[in-house]
Structure 1
Amino acid sequence: MGNEELQKLVENISQSSFGKPFAHKAVFNARLKTTGGRYMLQSHNIEMNPAQLERFGQEEFIRIIKHELCHYHLHIEGKGYQHRDADFKKLLAEVGGSRYCKTIPGARRQSKVRHVYACAGCKAEFVRRRQIDVKRYVCGRCKGQLKKIKTFSRENID
């Protein structure tokens, strides 16, 4: 499916489910990793994650489009378009859109490496995801000098 087909699909869903035209652009954005799609407040365009279509199929993809169209139509009408708003929740339930999209495995990568530092003064230990410059930073408790003790992987301890 290309951008032209996506545009036609969004226009058809908007007309059939909402009874209103979609007068802006709908495009694929492969840079979206952790979300199914997004509605752009400034331009009123909709960007969709192509991985959602490939991974979960047409039916789930249509539910995500309905979710984004809820944002679109409510924002255009000046009603509550945010996830927490009652207008949004009500319209989403009426059209059968998905509240949350399914997560793509591997989309969120968290660092599995941890760095352990200890204070020379009070012997407090600090575990950090990122390395720190021990010449530049000191202990937050006693202002003592920090020393790197070890680096380990979370896989080894879980």
Structure 2
Amino acid sequence: MDEQQLQQLTEQISLAYFKKPFRHKAYFNNRLKTTGGRYLLHSHDIELNKKYLVEHGQKELEGIIKHELCHYHLHLEGKGYKHRDKEFRMLLKEVGAPRFCTPLSSKKQTRKNRTYRCTECGQTFIRKRAIDTKRYVCGKCGGKIKEIIKKG
């Protein structure tokens, strides 16, 4: 799917579900990482994440477009367009748009935890970030800290 097909699809969904025309631009933004799409308040354009089309198919993309069109139409009408607004949630249900999109499998990356142990008292520390073992000492006894490197 290219930008022109996306624009046509967005216009069709807007007329079919909202009975109102979509008069702005819909396009793919490759820099979006954690969201399926976003509605831009100042330009009234809709940006979509192409990864959702590739991974989950056109049906998921159509759901994201419906969601963003809810923001679009409510904002232009001067009604509550934010996620927490009652009008927004009611319109989502009315058109069958998802409140949240399905997470991408590529985002499900586990972060490596680092394990440290005091050389004197044996206290263990689990941290997400690396600790400078020359600078910090054990909080329990004041002994030196050494990183435990897991093999395997």
**The TM-score by the shorter chain falls in which range?**
0.7 to 0.9
Deviates more, 1:35-44 or 1:113-122: 113-122
* Cα distance between partner residues in 2 of 1:63 and 1:21: 17
* Cα distance between partner residues in 2 of 1:74 and 1:151: 54
Q: Does 1:126 align with 2:133?
A: no
Within 5 Å, which residues of 2 pair with 1:25-64? 25-64=25-64
1:84 maps to 84
What stretches of structure 1 of length at least 5 have no aligned partner? Answer: none
> Alpha-carbon deviations, 1:20-42, whole Å to 9, x = none?
22222111122323322111223
2:142 maps to 144
1:105 maps to 105
Q: RMSD over aligned Cα, in angstroms?
A: 2.4
SS of 1:106's partner is: helix
SS of 2:146's partner is: strand
SS of 2:132's partner is: coil
Using the size of structure 1 for normalisation, the TM-score is 0.80
Closer/same/farther in 2, CA of residues 127 and 96 from structure 1, 3 Å limit:
same
Query: 1:85 Cα shift?
Result: 1.6
Count of residue pairs the alignment pairs up: 152
Percent identical among aligned pairs is 51
> Alpha-carbon deviations, 1:40-88, whole Å to 9, x = none?
2232221111122222222222111000111111222222222222111
The amino acid of 2:34's aligned partner reads T
* Cα distance between partner residues in 2 of 1:71 and 1:137: 49
Query: 1:134 Cα shift?
Result: 2.5
Within 5 Å, which residues of 2 pair with 1:4-23? 4-23=4-23
The amino acid of 1:132's aligned partner reads I
Closer/same/farther in 2, CA of residues 135 and 84 from structure 1, 3 Å limit:
same
Q: Tell me, yes or no, if the aligned pair for 1:117 and 1:146 is still in contact at 8 Å.
A: no
Using the size of structure 2 for normalisation, the TM-score is 0.83
Query: 1:136 Cα shift?
Result: 3.5
